[in-house]
């Protein structure tokens, strides 16, 4: 048998390494991979045991030893790529995430049984699982062979390791990056009430409707989670009801961080907690460049039609105000029970429909009839106005998330609303875009047929 020492470089062929010996750290500046010792020890013990059984000497002068191909393949399949350590600044206090083996996650999901499938997304499927300690988890499995899925997976791991816990952000428990067929998996706590979208549009008849107090709680919690992301100079770019998950108490947790953009923090920006400046994450200079005071741009646009701010969908410009726009649409969905691009079975932009009824003085019509009038009329009118302020066509005129939280918690909105209500921008349609947007080398938005079909 010929023993070959090899180092593994993620930029090269992932099949080109020997599982008997741990690879040296990668030369890549952004990721370090190291083999777990337990697999190396087990593999070595197997070799030594067979050599001794064959009467071999310690200097390996015995005849060549052959291991069965299936045994090597099994060990190879269960060996995860280990310890993804991104180059983030120490201020972030990067958490150590658990590194699961593929075998553990197969057992947790009964080999990814269809019975455990609880959701499908643009990059893969989500399964319910139960770990060995009894805890219930959601396991997101990226589709095999997807280059974009790999990039999103690595971003999710990086963001999951630095976001603070218990701040209305979905915590990442761990990950698995297995060599078998290019499997990439993320493990998070199971959110038993699924997503806001499921509670509004896919609710089983046996489950109760979301009352107004619960919807208001979701709005405030989601705004706090978004504020925490902005404190870390992270622009989410994918805020929508299906990415706001709900625990057993209907407390919201923002998830799906695969498409985030990392920006620079500027002095003068203030979070809801009064923090004037937050640490700065490294950002990809090839994709993001300064465009004005608080705007960046990219030539790769991903999102869902109806939630993308006009400046992002048309020109690829983004900032924290891009998230505010999407949050405004989400607020309108919580109030109306309608979809962002479909109202009462008709294809229409939700924000434009609401503004038209406000002009006519018929704002009560927009409120979800399932609420049966059980809400504070003044409060819900203020939330509608706040949502429309968040979807202002001019990004700098949208409120910061910290202001959104204060208004949701009782601060006045009348002065800002009157200024917007009487401006020429008030009558500008929210989105002047084709359903599928693609020009030059700008990627089309990520749409699913379910998101554009069927009324609530």
Q: Is the pLDDT of residue 385 over 60?
A: yes
Structure tokens at 190: 């199971």
**Percent share of the chain, pLDDT over 90:** 48
Q: Are both 159 and 213 inside the same structural domain?
A: no
CATH number for the domain harbouring residue 395: 1.10.510.10
**Domains held by the chain: number:** 3
- Could you read off the pLDDT of 269-307 as tens digits, one per residue? 444 433 333 333 333 433 333 333 467 888 888 889 999
318/381 same-domain check? yes
Q: Considering the domain boundaries, does residue 237 fall inside one? A: yes
Higher pLDDT, 424 or 185: 185
Residues 181 and 200 placed together within one structural domain of the fold: no
Residue 231 pLDDT greater than 50, yes or no = yes
Same domain, 319 and 217: yes
Last-in-domain residue among 39, 54, 83: 83
The verdict on 116 and 264 lying in the same domain is no
Residue 247 lies inside a defined structural domain of this protein: yes
CATH number at residue 179: 3.30.200.20
Residues 202 and 292 in one domain: yes
Residues 302 and 357 in one domain: yes
pLDDT at position 160, please? 93
Average pLDDT of the residues of the chain: 74
Which of 189, 214, 185, 202 minimizes the C-alpha distance to 242?
Answer: 202
Mean pLDDT within 138-159 = 82
Sequence-distant (≥ 6) Cβ neighbours of residue 350 within 8 angstroms: 306, 329, 332, 333, 336, 338, 339, 340, 341, 343
Q: Are residues 21 and 78 in the same domain?
A: yes
**Range among 23-27, 55-59, 334-338 with highest mean pLDDT value:** 334-338
Mean pLDDT in residue range 194-219: 88
Rounded distance, CA 363 to CA 385, Å? 10
- Asked whether residue 116 is assigned to any structural domain, the reply reads yes
**pLDDT band, very low/low/confident/very high, at 438 (cuts 50, 70, 90):** very low
The answer to whether residues 266 and 140 belong to one domain is: no
Of 76 and 412, the structure prediction assigns the larger pLDDT to: 412
Domain closes at, from 149, 167, 189: 189
Which of 251 and 24 is assigned the larger pLDDT?
251
Burial class from Cβ neighbours inside 10 Å (0-12, 13-18, 19+) for residue 120 reads exposed
- 44 found inside a domain: yes
Domain housing 162: 95-189
Task: State whether 203 and 180 are in the same domain.
Answer: no
Residue 146's pLDDT is 59
- Choosing from 189, 208, 242, the residue where a domain stops is 189
With contact defined as beta carbons under 8 Å apart, do 375 and 367 qualify?
A: yes
pLDDT tens-digit map of 316-340: 999 999 999 999 999 999 999 999 9
Q: Is 301 found in the same domain as 432? A: yes
Residue 446 inside a domain? The answer is yes
Asked whether residue 89 is assigned to any structural domain, the reply reads no
58 and 104: one domain? no
Residue 259 located in a structural domain: yes
Residue 90 lies in a domain: no
Angle ∠(134,135,136) on CA atoms, nearest 5:
115
Average pLDDT over residues 138-156: 80
pTM attached to this predicted model: 0.72
pLDDT tens digits, one per residue of 67-121: 344 433 333 343 333 344 445 544 556 788 999 999 999 999 999 999 999 988 7
């Amino acid at each position: 048998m010929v023993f070959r020492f090899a180092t593994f470089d993620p930029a090269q062929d992932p099949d080109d390494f020997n599982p008997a010996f741990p690879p040296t750290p990668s030369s890549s500046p952004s990721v370090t991979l190291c083999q777990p010792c337990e697999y190396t020890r087990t593999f070595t013990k197997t070799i030594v045991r067979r050599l001794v059984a064959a009467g071999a000497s310690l200097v390996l002068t015995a005849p060549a030893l052959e291991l069965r191909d299936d045994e090597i393949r099994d060990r190879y399949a269960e060996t995860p790529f280990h310890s993804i350590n991104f180059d983030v600044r120490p201020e972030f206090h990067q958490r150590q995430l658990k590194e699961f083996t593929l075998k553990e996650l197969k057992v947790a999901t009964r080999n990814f049984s269809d019975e455990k499938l609880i959701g499908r997304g643009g990059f893969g499927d989500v399964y319910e699982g139960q770990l060995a300690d009894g805890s219930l988890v959601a396991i997101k499995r990226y589709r095999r062979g997807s280059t974009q899925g790999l990039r999103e997976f690595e971003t999710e791991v990086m963001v999951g390791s630095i976001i603070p816990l218990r701040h209305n952000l979905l915590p990442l428990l761990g990950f698995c990056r297995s060599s078998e067929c290019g499997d990439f998996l993320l493990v998070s706590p199971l959110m038993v009430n699924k997503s806001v979208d499921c509670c509004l549009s896919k609710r089983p008849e046996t489950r109760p409707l979301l009352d107004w107090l619960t919807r208001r709680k979701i709005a405030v919690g989601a705004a706090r989670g978004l504020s925490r992301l902005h404190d870390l100079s992270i622009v989410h770019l994918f805020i929508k009801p299906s990415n706001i998950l709900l625990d057993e108490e209907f407390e919201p947790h923002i998830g799906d961080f695969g498409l985030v953009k990392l920006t620079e923090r500027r002095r003068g920006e203030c979070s809801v907690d009064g923090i004037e400046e937050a640490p700065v994450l490294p950002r990809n200079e090839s994709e993001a460049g300064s465009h004005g005071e608080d705007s960046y741009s990219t030539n790769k646009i991903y999102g869902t039609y109806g939630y993308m701010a006009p400046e992002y969908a048309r020109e690829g410009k983004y900032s924290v105000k891009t998230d505010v726009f999407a949050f405004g649409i989400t607020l309108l969905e919580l109030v109306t029970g309608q979809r962002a691009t479909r109202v009462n079975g008709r294809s229409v932009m939700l924000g434009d429909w609401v503004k038209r009824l406000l002009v006519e003085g018929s704002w009560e019509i927009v409120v979800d009839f399932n609420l049966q009038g059980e809400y504070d009329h003044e409060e819900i009118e203020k939330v509608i106005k706040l949502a429309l302020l968040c979807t202002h066509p001019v990004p700098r005129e949208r409120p910061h998330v910290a202001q959104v939280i204060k208004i949701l918690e009782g601060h006045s909105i009348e002065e800002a609303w009157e200024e917007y209500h009487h401006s020429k921008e008030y009558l500008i349609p929210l989105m002047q875009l084709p359903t599928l947007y693609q020009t030059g080398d700008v990627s089309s938005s990520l749409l699913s047929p379910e998101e554009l079909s069927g009324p609530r």
